[in-house]
Amino acid sequence: MSETPALELRDIDMHYGYVRALDGIDVAVRQGEVLGLLGDNGAGKSTLLKVMSGAHQPTSGTILVRGAPVVFHSPSDSTRAGIEMVYQDLALVDAQDIATNLNIGREILRRGPLGWLGFVDHKAQRKRSAAELDRLGVRTAAMTRPVEMLSGGQRQVVALARAASRVIGGVPGPPGEASRAGLAGGVPGPPGEASRAGLAGGVLLLDEPTAALGYEQTRQVQALIRRMAENGVACVLVTHNLPLAIDVCDRIVVLNRGRKVADVATSATDNDQLVGWITGARASMFA
């Protein structure tokens, strides 16, 4: 796997008037890596995520996507660069079914004259959505089920899958192939078919993806995030949920009052250390 990070932020400053929301932040996330952003309320996690998604423009600093410097003026700029944000409020169309929600904005049109008139190939769309959900291992309900009739966990899965499928690319790959690759072993070991084919390289930004979920549903979303990382997606996860971060993240960055105070591999740290950094009781790694 290449060492160029999928997304890198260098020396990001962000001022709101006299308030320094972010102060010289350096963060990088590699393909297939899940990066956790921890911190207390007001530490700057969400601001940093919004800088990554293009919703906020930093006061100074550089953003690099796969090594190339970019400037995001709006969220659509970052979307074009392969960065997708999963919003806390899900942003699904309740009255429409799962397949429509997953396909909106990238519909499959029918072949021939009907396609020229803008007719949608519902069957192909349902098939592609089913394949995408299968590949993520989270096919939860009939593709024709309206989103309003899903439970909270299922909705979250659909929202995640929608972002993921855009990041990974619309190419479903043979569903059998994908699940077989998953069967080989849970550890991301050799890069999967997808990343070698160059489909991966996208970045997924997740803002409290499990905030509204129960225990079992949280575990499901957790498995989904891991699986997307296995597919070569770089994930940035903002959360308050420490056990979740420890379970799902490869690396954890802790922010405190706009400064980065820790950047460690999850395996090299533990709950107490992280709590220390979050509360400020523990000295910064970079002080």
Partner 1 sequence: MTVTASTESTEPVATARHDGDPARVRWLIFARDRGIVVLWVLLLAGFGLWARPYFATVDNAILIANAAALTAIFAAGIAVGIICGALDLSIPGTAAMAGCVCGWLMTHDMPVWVGLLAGLAVGVVVGLVNGLIALRGFNPIIVTIGTLSVLSGLAATLAGGYTIPGLLDLEFMGTRRYLGVPAPVWIVALLFVVGTVFLTRTRDGIRMMAVGGNAEAVRRSGVHSDRYKVLGFVISGFCAALGGLVTAALVTEANPAANPGIIFNALTAVALAGVALSGGRGSLPRVLVGALILGTISNGLTIKGIQPYWATTLTGALLLASLGLEKWVSTTVSRRLVATAAASAHTGTR
Binding site for partner 1 (CB under 8 A): 75-76, 79, 87, 91-96, 100-101, 104-107, 109, 117-120, 122, 133-134, 137-143, 145, 149-151, 153-154, 157, 162, 179, 182-183, 185-186, 216-217, 219-220, 223, 227
Min dist CB 54 to partner 1, Å, is: 12
The label of the residue with tokens 């129960």 reads 214
> Would you say 120 or 246 has its CB closer to partner 1?
120
> Would you say 147 or 252 has its CB closer to partner 1?
147
Min dist CB 151 to partner 1, Å, is: 3
> Would you say 60 or 76 has its CB closer to partner 1?
76
CA distance 112 to 108: 12
Phi, psi of 103, rounded to the nearest 5 degrees = -105, -10
Phi-psi region of 198 (alpha: psi -120 to 50; beta: other; left: phi over 0): left
> Would you say 223 or 246 has its CB closer to partner 1?
223
- 137 and 202 in contact (C-beta within 8 Å)? no
> Would you say 100 or 256 has its CB closer to partner 1?
100
Min dist CB 102 to partner 1, Å, is: 10
> Would you say 54 or 258 has its CB closer to partner 1?
54
Cβ neighbours for 102, distance < 8 A, ≥ 6 positions apart: 125, 128, 129, 132, 133, 158, 161, 162, 165
Min dist CB 51 to partner 1, Å, is: 18
Helix H or strand E segment including 158: helix 152-168
> Would you say 79 or 266 has its CB closer to partner 1?
79
Cβ neighbours for 183, distance < 8 A, ≥ 6 positions apart: none
Cβ neighbours for 68, distance < 8 A, ≥ 6 positions apart: none
Q: Is 264 exposed, middle or buried (0-12, 13-18, 19+ CB in 10 A)?
A: middle
**What is the arrangement of strands in the sheet containing 234-238, beginning at the earlier edge strand?**
83-86, 203-207, 234-238, 34-39, 251-256, 259-265
Min dist CB 246 to partner 1, Å, is: 19
> Would you say 45 or 162 has its CB closer to partner 1?
162
Min dist CB 219 to partner 1, Å, is: 7
In 3D, which of 283, 172, 160 has the Cα closest to residue 228? 160
The label of the residue with tokens 């396909």 reads 103
Min dist CB 103 to partner 1, Å, is: 9
Min dist CB 14 to partner 1, Å, is: 23
The neighbouring-strand residues paired with 97 are 146
